[in-house]
Amino acid sequence: MPAAVPIPADLQRRYGNSSERRAWLAGLPALVSECLQRWNLRVTLAPGQEPWNGSAGIVVPVLDDDGAPAVLKVAFPYAETLLEPVALRLWAGNGAVRLLHADEQRCAMVLERMDAGRWLHSVPMDEATAVWGSLVRQLSLVPDDRPDWAALPHIAETAERWSDDLPAEWERLGRPFDRWLLETALEVCQTRGAVGRRVAKDVLVHSDLHYMNILGRSGTDDYAAIDPQPTIGEAEFGVAPCLWNRIPDLSRTDPQPALRARCAELSSAAGLDGELARQWSIAREVDNALWYFSKPGHGGDAARSLWVASTLAGRTLDGLPTAHQLKTL
């Protein structure tokens, strides 16, 4: 029986706020231990060291049964985490972390060990843009006859749902920003939700491909994506996370044109339509802003989303912090 792996204090804080989450936390040590035995993994944590963790789960450094470095990832069963192994199987290590084993019902996976000290967040923007664009090209698989595709949601469905949900939530929250920005997002949803079902542009999209979700491959100069939130549809949907991250790197004298230029440069690097990327990013950030407004204590996050959305729409909202005063991720 392997020694119990400690549960990070940060994860315990995050998941102590509901009975469902507390129950998952309580069962996590036994689940980790079971996975270690099932896949013959050996933990490589130093004494007293906690595993890594993100917002949704735990990542334990291990050696696999051949002695190769890997990680055991066990996540809370959200819709996004349940779909992660589906996408990783489709990518098969091309542009994304390699999936070695998976128990999909329990959101447990063994993945190749990435170089956690080398991520795109700290790379100069010109280089980061080129790497990001190259990865998007690799990850943009066209659907085929493999059964895994049937499990993935379509971006057009998301847009159609937002057409109903965004105005309802805007009203429920007391109309927290100008109507024109909501209407701009709705126009995108109504247009792309319909067109997205007719055009032959469907690809597999990593919808959370920001700079911190791109790590170096150990022992190589290559990078690969981690933590996908996979969906199918127009690849331009995936540009937005790189616009709401690394805002402090924008020009201090003229950040609004710099944000719009970043959208165009990322799109060009990935061979995407910059105008579609701009439109999708507005819709995604309006959705994000409403989600943040619904959560106490997230006013700074909502302001960042509104700054990005309204700046991309060409009219930065009044009353927001300046770009370099926005809350960072």
Joined together, the tokens standing for residue 287 give 């959705």
Contact, 125 vs 242, CB < 8 A?
no
Joined together, the tokens standing for residue 245 give 């991250």
- Nearest Cα to Cα of residue 160 among 195, 132, 135: 195
- Nearest Cα to Cα of residue 39 among 62, 65, 18: 65
Whether 208 sits among the annotated catalytic residues: the reply is: yes
Q: Alpha helix locations (H) across 173-240?
A: 179-195
CA 64 to chain CA mean position, Å:
27
- Nearest Cα to Cα of residue 162 among 144, 184, 177: 184
Q: Which of 115, 165, 178, 208 is catalytic?
A: 208
Give all strands (DSSP E) within 82-213, no chain letters: 99-103, 108-112, 114-119, 203-206
Rg (C-alpha) for the chain, rounded Å, is 20
Backbone angles phi, psi at 104, to 5 degrees: -70, -35
Active site residues: 208
